[in-house]
Amino acid sequence: MQQVFVEKKIASGDIVRIDNEDLYHLRKVLRKDSSYTFRICDEKGDIYHCHLLDDDTCMIDEYLDENNELECDITCILSLIKSDKFELCLQKLTELGVKRIVPYEAARSVMKINDEKKLVRFRRIIREAAMQSHRNIIPEITMPCDLKNMKEYLSDHNYICYEAEKNIKDIQTGRSLTYIIGPEGGFETKEYEKILELGFESISLGKRILRAETAALYMTSIIAGKCQ
């Protein structure tokens, strides 16, 4: 069933205006008419059934006691890799339950975010993935970070995916967890050492060398499995 988000608190019986893009998708792409029932999620993460009215609004029907979020708040610090692969990661990390994505300008990053247009596109990708996967929230994507402000994103447990003795199966989740995925070409040695000094623990993803996008999805899948 289709789901949309609204940036306000709603309740059963309310009549709510739908975002123009969402309305276009419902009426023009899916060809839904009045009385079509779908899901709507408000700013508090509460989900309701609702149905379309004749204009650009919907009627809120019943509350759904449903929580589709993980028990652990996951932050992925994702190095700026090639644009298409980065966008794929945004979509899949959202579907897997990540709460916050922090683009990281690594020493070997091949992409730069030089204007707001890219962030607008990234937010749209995340929002659409959150709708598709029936999230209670739209994950946050922050402004790009570097080593100087990475400390702002520390959690109860913090990991960097790298060659290490400690296996991914031994990770601890707690209430919050942050992990870092490196760029194509990996981390520079000094960069890696500085990240460890910030409080990150090195974790191995196994014997094989994974592409950055594969590592991000594999790491998140393991964490999500521990936090259901």
Mean pLDDT by 10 residues, the chain (228 residues): 92 90 82 86 96 88 95 96 95 97 93 86 96 97 94 95 76 92 92 94 85 93 87
**Do 149 and 52 reside in the same domain of the chain?**
no
Q: Are 105 and 204 within one domain? A: yes
Same domain, yes or no: 34 and 89: no
The answer to whether the CB of 109 falls within 8 A of the CB of 85 is: no
- Residues 40, 81, single domain; the answer is no
Check whether residue 60 and residue 77 sit in a common domain: no
- Identify whether the C-beta of residue 129 lies closer than 8 Å to the C-beta of residue 97: no
Strand 57-64 with 15-17, pairing: antiparallel
> Are 24 and 53 in a shared domain?
yes
Which pLDDT score is estimated for 165?
A: 65
- Say yes or no: 171 and 60 in one domain: no
Do 102 and 82 sit in the same domain of this protein? yes
Residues 57 and 115 in one domain: no
**Following DSSP, what letter does each residue of 105-118 receive, concatenated?**
--TT------SHHH
Number of domains the chain contains: 2
**Range of 168's domain?**
73-226
The token pair at 112 is 């730069």
Buried b or exposed e, range 117-137, using 16+ CB within 10 angstroms: ebeeebeebbbbbbbeebbbe
Report phi then psi at 131, rounded to 5.
-65, -45
Check residue 228 and give its pLDDT: 74
- Looking up tokens 């964490």 gives 223
CA distance to 145, 172, 212, per residue, from 226 (Å)? 27, 9, 22
Give me the count of residues in the chain.
Answer: 228
Return the ∠ at Cα 35 (arms to 29 and 41), rounded to 5°.
75
Taking the C-alpha atoms of residue 159 and residue 178, their distance in angstroms, rounded to an integer, is 6
Residue that finishes a domain, picked among 42, 64, 86: 64
Q: Are 83 and 180 contained in the same domain?
A: yes
pTM of full prediction above 0.85: yes
One domain, residues 60 and 136: no
Residues 219/181, Cβ–Cβ less than 8 Å: yes
Q: What CATH number does residue 135 fall under? A: 3.40.1280.10
The reply to whether 45 and 89 lie within a common domain is no
